Amino acid sequence: MFKRSMTRPRGGRIGNVYAAPRDLVIAFSDSWLPMDQEKVTKYFAFTRGSAHVGIYDYKRTNLYAKGLPHPKTFWSGNEVAQFSLGGHIDPLLIPVFQEWLREQGVDLAVVRLDSEEERVPQEPDGLGQSAVASI
């Protein structure tokens, strides 16, 4: 079982999470870590054993660039968006993490490591066929 963490994991970006922003806020509203409010506005961190990962919006709002949605608009959205996944996790735990996110109410969660993203053919919506089939 994964647990929420109030500590940002060490390490860089390792993949992506596809989910509705609103679902993340509803499921984890009491445990997001404040960030720089420019490139990243919210950061959700989780642990399980040696796995320590975070889900965050990277350059997704108008605090970073004009033309992007305001943070309140972005985080209230019901459309699936791409989030960055950071930290470190055994690839064998990815399906467990994805299922745990869904159990927490993040209904459309799809988790992909960068090594998997390279193998997933991209569709025009940016998700990729296998990710769309999972949703």
Domain count within the chain: 1
- With H, G, I as helix, E, B as strand and everything else as coil, classify residue 118: coil
pLDDT at 55 over 80: yes
Q: Average model confidence (pLDDT) for the chain?
A: 84
Q: How far apart are CA 57 and CA 51, in angstroms?
A: 20
* Stated pTM of the model: 0.81
Q: How far apart are CA 58 and CA 79, in angstroms?
A: 17
Say if residues 3 and 48 touch (Cβ distance below 8 Å): yes
Q: How far apart are CA 132 and CA 89, in angstroms?
A: 23
pLDDT, residue 44, reads 93
pLDDT tens digit string along 81-110?
999 999 999 999 999 999 999 999 998 889
Q: How far apart are CA 81 and CA 37, in angstroms?
A: 18
- CA distances from residue 36 to 13, 29, 61, 89, 126 in whole angstroms, order as listed: 16, 18, 12, 24, 26
Range of the domain at 65: 3-134
Q: How far apart are CA 20 and CA 36, in angstroms?
A: 22
Once rounded to an integer, what is the mean pLDDT over residues 17-44? 87
